[in-house]
Amino acid sequence: MGVRKAVKGVGDFLVETVGEVVAEVVLSVLACLLLGLLALTAHLAWSFSPRATLVGVAVLGLALAHGAWAAFRDPAKGRGRRGLAAVTSAGFVLTAATAVFLALYVPDCGCL
C-alpha cells in the first residue's frame, strides 16, 4: 500500500507541475500578444494622425484620472456610482488590472 500511495503522490505532483508550467507559458504568450497589440495600435494611431493621437491620449488620461478619483472616494449617502463615474471607474480598474498583468508576465516573454 505504501508504494501505491507514493506513486500516486509523485504522479499528482508531476501533473500539477506540468499544469503550472503550461499555464505560465500561456500567460506569457498572452502578455506578449497584448503588448504587441498595444504597440501596434499606438503606432498605427500615430501614423494616421499624431495630433489626434495626443488628443486621444489626453482624453483617455482624464477619463482614467476621473475613474481613479471616483473609485477611491466615498459616494454620496444613499447613492451608488452612477453614469459617468461608474464607467470611468470600471475603465480605471480594467486598465490597472491590465497594467499589473503586463508588469508580471511581460518580462518573462523575452520580447523586450
pLDDT tens per residue across span 45-59: 999 999 999 999 999
CA distances (Å), 58 to each of 39, 61, 63, 83, 88, in order?
Answer: 17, 5, 9, 21, 14
- Amino acid of residue 84: L
Q: Return mean pLDDT, the chain.
A: 85
Rounded alpha-carbon distances, angstroms, from residue 108 to 23, 31, 32, 37, 101: 13, 9, 9, 17, 12
The reported pLDDT for the residue numbered 81 is 65
pLDDT tens sequence across 8-35: 777 888 888 888 889 888 888 888 888 8
pTM: predicted TM-score of the whole model, two decimal places: 0.73
Amino acid 79: pLDDT = 66
Residues of the domain holding 7: 2-108
Spatial distance between the Cα atoms of 8 and 16, rounded to a whole number of angstroms? 12
Q: How many domains does the chain have?
A: 1
